[in-house]
Amino acid sequence: MGINASEERILEQLRLGREAMPDWAEALDLQIALLEAQMEVEIPAVEVRLNAEEATQRRRQGIPLVSGRELRMDWDSFAALFRRVCQISAAHRADLADDLVALEKIPADDPEQLQSWIFSFMAEGKPSQDDELGLERFALTHTLRPFLRRYAQAYASLVDESGWRRGYCPICGGEPDLASLSALDEGARHLLCSRCDNEWLYKRLGCPFCERADHGEIRYYPEEEGPHRLYVCDECKRYLKTIDLREGPPRSRVLLPVERVLTMGMDVAARDAGYG
Ligand SMILES: [Zn+2]
Ligand SMILES: [Zn+2]
């Protein structure tokens, strides 16, 4: 549903969420403005460059279907959206405005720097070693998302999710930033890609980030009421927000890209507790 949910529906539900969560209005306004900017970019259809056999090969080797160097994007559109993302974020975050204004200049001043950030971000999840505030990563995530969503839609038919079960996205290699437990299939767990909104099947237990921890190292905190849980891993100190669809509203009404945003209180709680 992540990549199939239209951006219009995501936007509509975010706006409703904003009405229902006045304490988070500022942060939600930023997310809404970023999505509106993403929706204004015209992105041409993505050409699939792998056949079924090549896709199977990659699945067996644990290699995602699209790497940074395989992305074919209109770099002018990408650079324009990158600048827009920085401007919007600066307008909503006065505390970070100076850094964001500096970041906005990168596409014009140093386009090769921007490309190398993309390649590092796609391969390693980090644009560079000195991204202390995480702003480069934030700006790239929000700039790449509409492009990667198109890739995810185009490549979805090449994914055999029962043959993957890895902690990173079979399409773009991104980390998950939300999980859902299915109301069907005995609570099967799906992960939502933080970059392309693809959802893939993962083990019911265990940490997708270190892939080592078993339940000894994993703890979870349920909400007092409601379907959300926060899983934390004491092996790698990462956390994973989870929505239990056996307890929540019907699956057809839940859009995980919306849940990712509306659960931002759990991100704050997890970080305050020392998880990242
Ligand atoms: Zn992905
Ligand atoms: Zn872990």
Q: Give the pLDDT mean for 118-123.
A: 96
Q: Which ligand is nearest to the CA of 172?
A: 1
Mean pLDDT of 1-10: 83
Average pLDDT, the chain: 93
* pLDDT digits 0-9 by tens, 41-66: 999 999 999 999 999 999 999 999 99
Please tell me the distance between residue 217's alpha carbon and the centre of ligand 2 in angstroms.
Answer: 8
Residue 218: predicted pLDDT: 75
pLDDT at residue 101, as a whole number? 97
Cα–ligand 1 centroid distance for 64 (angstroms): 9
Give me 110's structure tokens: 């140093």
Q: What is the pLDDT of residue 5?
A: 84
Which of 53, 241, 43, 61 has its CA nearest to residue 152? 43
Domain boundaries in the chain? 7-158, 163-272
Could you tell me the distance, in angstroms and rounded to a whole number, from the CA of residue 113 to the centre of ligand 2?
A: 31
Q: 40 C-alpha to center of ligand 2: Å?
A: 37
The domain defined by 163-272 carries CATH number 1.10.760.10: no
Enumerate residues 6+ apart whose C-beta is below 8 A from 152.
Answer: 2, 3, 171, 172, 193, 196, 197, 198
- pLDDT attached to residue 226: 82
CA of 51 to the centre of ligand 2 (A): 34
Indicate yes or no: pTM above 0.85: yes
Mean pLDDT of 230-258: 89
Which is more confidently placed, 194 or 248? 194
User: Which of the pair, 109 or 249, is modelled with greater confidence?
Assistant: 109
**Residue 144 pLDDT:** 97
pLDDT of residue 47: 94
User: What confidence tens digit (pLDDT) does each residue in 14-29 have?
Assistant: 999 999 999 999 999 9
Cα–Cα distance for residue pair 249/238, rounded to 1 Å: 27
pLDDT at 253 over 90: no
Q: How far is the CA of 195 from the centre of ligand 1 (A)?
A: 5
Instruction: Give the pLDDT score at 247.
Output: 81
Task: Kindly give the distance from the C-alpha atom of residue 23 to the centroid of ligand 1, in angstroms, as a whole number.
Answer: 30
Lowest-pLDDT choice from 35-39, 144-148, 211-215? 211-215
**pLDDT score for 249:** 74
Dmax of the chain from CA atoms?
Answer: 53
Q: Give pLDDT tens digits for 187-225.
A: 899 999 999 999 999 998 899 999 876 766 777 777 777
**Distance between Cα 11 and ligand 2 center (Å):** 32
In the chain, the N- to C-terminal Cα span, in Å, equals: 26
- Taking the centre of ligand 2 as the mean of its atom positions, its distance from the CA of residue 98, in whole angstroms, is 34
Do strands 239-244 and 228-233 pair parallel, antiparallel, or not at all (unpaired)? Answer: antiparallel
Residues with CB under 5 A from ligand 1 (ion): 169, 171-172, 174, 193, 195-196, 198
**Quick one: pLDDT at residue 3?**
75
pLDDT at 180 over 60: yes
